[in-house]
Amino acid sequence: MDVHQHIFLDFEFSMPDRKMSQRGFFPEIIEVGVVVEEDGSIIESFSSYVQPRVFKTLTPRCKKFLKIKQEDVDGGISFIEFIHYLQKLNKKGKNRIITWGNMDMKVLRENCEKAGLLFPFQGEFVDLSLEYKRFFGDRNQTGLWKAVEEYGKDGVGKHHKALDDAMTTYNIYKLVEKDKEYLNRATPPTIGDRVDMKKLMNLLA
Protein backbone atom coordinates (compact mmCIF):
# COMPACT_ATOMS: atom_id res chain seq x y z
CA MET A 1 0.00 0.00 0.00
CA ASP A 2 1.39 3.38 -1.02
CA VAL A 3 2.18 5.89 1.69
CA HIS A 4 0.92 9.43 1.22
CA GLN A 5 3.63 11.85 2.28
CA HIS A 6 3.88 15.62 2.44
CA ILE A 7 7.48 16.66 1.78
CA PHE A 8 8.40 20.23 2.71
CA LEU A 9 11.60 21.45 1.08
CA ASP A 10 13.78 24.51 1.33
CA PHE A 11 17.10 25.09 -0.41
CA GLU A 12 19.73 27.79 -0.21
CA PHE A 13 21.61 28.56 -3.42
CA SER A 14 25.03 29.84 -4.36
CA MET A 15 25.14 33.43 -5.59
CA PRO A 16 27.36 35.33 -8.02
CA ASP A 17 29.14 38.49 -6.96
CA ARG A 18 27.66 41.58 -8.54
CA LYS A 19 31.12 43.05 -9.02
CA MET A 20 32.50 39.88 -10.58
CA SER A 21 31.68 38.41 -13.96
CA GLN A 22 31.25 34.66 -13.55
CA ARG A 23 30.86 33.27 -17.03
CA GLY A 24 28.13 30.67 -17.34
CA PHE A 25 27.19 30.98 -13.66
CA PHE A 26 24.05 29.19 -12.47
CA PRO A 27 22.79 28.83 -8.87
CA GLU A 28 23.69 25.56 -7.18
CA ILE A 29 22.00 24.05 -4.12
CA ILE A 30 24.39 24.45 -1.19
CA GLU A 31 22.10 23.80 1.79
CA VAL A 32 18.98 21.66 2.13
CA GLY A 33 16.19 21.35 4.66
CA VAL A 34 13.57 18.62 4.44
CA VAL A 35 10.53 17.91 6.63
CA VAL A 36 8.43 14.83 5.92
CA GLU A 37 4.87 14.46 7.25
CA GLU A 38 2.83 11.30 7.19
CA ASP A 39 -0.67 10.87 8.65
CA GLY A 40 -0.51 14.30 10.26
CA SER A 41 2.81 13.76 12.06
CA ILE A 42 6.40 14.64 11.20
CA ILE A 43 8.23 11.36 10.65
CA GLU A 44 11.54 12.68 9.37
CA SER A 45 13.64 15.81 9.03
CA PHE A 46 16.92 16.26 7.23
CA SER A 47 19.47 19.05 7.07
CA SER A 48 22.81 19.24 5.32
CA TYR A 49 25.17 21.46 3.41
CA VAL A 50 25.81 20.38 -0.18
CA GLN A 51 29.09 20.70 -2.02
CA PRO A 52 28.76 22.94 -5.09
CA ARG A 53 29.59 20.78 -8.10
CA VAL A 54 30.69 23.40 -10.66
CA PHE A 55 31.38 26.72 -8.94
CA LYS A 56 33.09 25.24 -5.90
CA THR A 57 34.18 28.50 -4.24
CA LEU A 58 31.45 30.59 -2.60
CA THR A 59 31.47 34.27 -3.43
CA PRO A 60 31.88 36.87 -0.65
CA ARG A 61 28.32 38.05 -1.38
CA CYS A 62 26.92 34.54 -0.90
CA LYS A 63 28.82 33.96 2.35
CA LYS A 64 27.73 37.33 3.74
CA PHE A 65 24.05 37.00 2.79
CA LEU A 66 23.54 33.38 3.83
CA LYS A 67 26.07 33.28 6.70
CA ILE A 68 27.51 30.11 5.15
CA LYS A 69 31.25 29.49 5.29
CA GLN A 70 33.35 27.81 2.64
CA GLU A 71 34.26 25.03 5.07
CA ASP A 72 30.52 24.37 5.64
CA VAL A 73 29.92 23.41 2.02
CA ASP A 74 33.32 21.72 1.67
CA GLY A 75 32.24 19.37 4.47
CA GLY A 76 28.75 18.80 3.06
CA ILE A 77 27.37 15.88 1.09
CA SER A 78 27.81 15.67 -2.67
CA PHE A 79 24.96 16.67 -4.96
CA ILE A 80 24.65 13.05 -6.10
CA GLU A 81 24.29 11.89 -2.47
CA PHE A 82 21.55 14.48 -1.99
CA ILE A 83 19.66 13.29 -5.09
CA HIS A 84 19.92 9.69 -3.86
CA TYR A 85 18.33 10.80 -0.58
CA LEU A 86 15.41 12.43 -2.44
CA GLN A 87 15.00 9.34 -4.60
CA LYS A 88 14.59 7.23 -1.46
CA LEU A 89 11.86 9.57 -0.25
CA ASN A 90 10.17 9.33 -3.63
CA LYS A 91 10.13 5.53 -3.50
CA LYS A 92 8.16 5.50 -0.24
CA GLY A 93 4.89 6.30 -1.96
CA LYS A 94 2.68 9.08 -3.25
CA ASN A 95 4.13 12.48 -2.49
CA ARG A 96 2.95 16.03 -2.24
CA ILE A 97 6.04 18.26 -2.50
CA ILE A 98 5.54 21.66 -0.93
CA THR A 99 7.82 24.68 -1.23
CA TRP A 100 7.49 28.40 -0.61
CA GLY A 101 7.88 29.86 -4.09
CA ASN A 102 8.89 28.10 -7.29
CA MET A 103 12.65 28.66 -7.26
CA ASP A 104 13.48 25.52 -5.27
CA MET A 105 12.03 23.19 -7.90
CA LYS A 106 13.43 25.26 -10.79
CA VAL A 107 16.96 25.16 -9.40
CA LEU A 108 16.66 21.47 -8.48
CA ARG A 109 15.61 20.64 -12.05
CA GLU A 110 18.40 22.75 -13.52
CA ASN A 111 21.02 21.25 -11.19
CA CYS A 112 19.88 17.74 -12.14
CA GLU A 113 20.07 18.57 -15.85
CA LYS A 114 23.56 20.06 -15.48
CA ALA A 115 24.72 16.94 -13.60
CA GLY A 116 23.05 14.54 -16.04
CA LEU A 117 20.80 13.12 -13.33
CA LEU A 118 17.10 12.30 -13.43
CA PHE A 119 14.78 14.58 -11.50
CA PRO A 120 14.14 12.65 -8.27
CA PHE A 121 10.46 13.36 -7.66
CA GLN A 122 7.11 12.21 -8.96
CA GLY A 123 3.97 13.59 -7.38
CA GLU A 124 2.00 16.77 -6.85
CA PHE A 125 3.99 19.98 -6.58
CA VAL A 126 2.58 22.83 -4.50
CA ASP A 127 3.87 26.40 -4.42
CA LEU A 128 2.50 27.37 -1.02
CA SER A 129 3.21 31.06 -1.60
CA LEU A 130 0.72 31.00 -4.51
CA GLU A 131 -1.84 29.10 -2.43
CA TYR A 132 -1.41 31.69 0.33
CA LYS A 133 -1.80 34.54 -2.19
CA ARG A 134 -5.00 33.06 -3.65
CA PHE A 135 -6.46 32.17 -0.27
CA PHE A 136 -6.06 35.66 1.18
CA GLY A 137 -6.64 37.53 -2.09
CA ASP A 138 -3.27 39.29 -2.00
CA ARG A 139 -2.10 41.09 -5.13
CA ASN A 140 1.52 40.20 -4.57
CA GLN A 141 3.21 37.08 -3.26
CA THR A 142 4.22 37.33 0.38
CA GLY A 143 7.61 36.43 1.80
CA LEU A 144 7.80 33.32 3.97
CA TRP A 145 8.47 35.00 7.28
CA LYS A 146 6.08 37.88 6.59
CA ALA A 147 3.36 35.29 5.96
CA VAL A 148 3.92 33.53 9.27
CA GLU A 149 4.01 36.89 11.08
CA GLU A 150 0.64 37.77 9.49
CA TYR A 151 -0.69 34.70 11.30
CA GLY A 152 0.62 36.15 14.55
CA LYS A 153 3.28 33.45 14.76
CA ASP A 154 7.07 33.41 14.73
CA GLY A 155 9.23 31.71 12.15
CA VAL A 156 11.28 28.73 13.27
CA GLY A 157 14.93 29.46 14.03
CA LYS A 158 16.68 31.71 11.53
CA HIS A 159 15.50 32.94 8.15
CA HIS A 160 17.58 31.61 5.23
CA LYS A 161 18.51 28.55 7.25
CA ALA A 162 17.17 25.71 5.09
CA LEU A 163 15.71 23.40 7.74
CA ASP A 164 14.24 26.32 9.71
CA ASP A 165 12.55 27.64 6.57
CA ALA A 166 11.27 24.16 5.67
CA MET A 167 9.76 23.85 9.15
CA THR A 168 8.24 27.34 8.89
CA THR A 169 6.71 26.34 5.54
CA TYR A 170 5.26 23.25 7.21
CA ASN A 171 3.74 25.39 9.99
CA ILE A 172 2.13 27.83 7.52
CA TYR A 173 0.76 24.91 5.49
CA LYS A 174 -0.95 23.53 8.60
CA LEU A 175 -2.43 26.96 9.41
CA VAL A 176 -3.74 27.50 5.87
CA GLU A 177 -5.22 24.00 5.70
CA LYS A 178 -6.95 24.57 9.04
CA ASP A 179 -8.46 27.83 7.74
CA LYS A 180 -9.62 26.09 4.54
CA GLU A 181 -11.27 23.37 6.57
CA TYR A 182 -13.06 25.96 8.70
CA LEU A 183 -14.36 27.87 5.66
CA ASN A 184 -15.45 24.68 3.89
CA ARG A 185 -17.70 23.58 6.74
CA ALA A 186 -21.38 23.56 5.85
CA THR A 187 -23.32 26.69 6.82
CA PRO A 188 -25.52 25.93 9.87
CA PRO A 189 -29.17 25.51 8.87
CA THR A 190 -31.54 28.41 9.54
CA ILE A 191 -34.79 28.07 11.49
CA GLY A 192 -36.57 28.07 8.11
CA ASP A 193 -34.57 25.02 7.04
CA ARG A 194 -35.47 23.13 10.20
CA VAL A 195 -39.22 23.92 10.32
CA ASP A 196 -41.82 23.08 7.68
CA MET A 197 -43.44 26.52 7.54
CA LYS A 198 -46.49 25.23 5.59
CA LYS A 199 -47.32 22.72 8.33
CA LEU A 200 -46.77 25.35 11.00
CA MET A 201 -49.17 27.80 9.30
CA ASN A 202 -51.82 25.05 9.00
CA LEU A 203 -51.54 24.35 12.73
CA LEU A 204 -51.93 28.01 13.56
CA ALA A 205 -54.89 28.51 11.22
| Beta-ladder partners of 99 | 127
Rounded Cα distance, 171 and 165, in Å: 10
Q: For residues 162 and 151, what is the distance between their CA atoms, to the nearest angstrom?
A: 21
The burial class, CB within 10 Å (0-12 / 13-18 / 19+), for 25 is middle
Q: Check if 177 is active-site.
A: no
Q: Which residue is catalytic, options 12, 28, 31, 37?
A: 12
Among residues 38, 131, 150, 160, the one annotated as catalytic is 160
Rounded Cα distance between 97 and 79, Å, is 19
Q: Is 160 part of the annotated catalytic residue set?
A: yes
Catalytic center residues: 12, 160
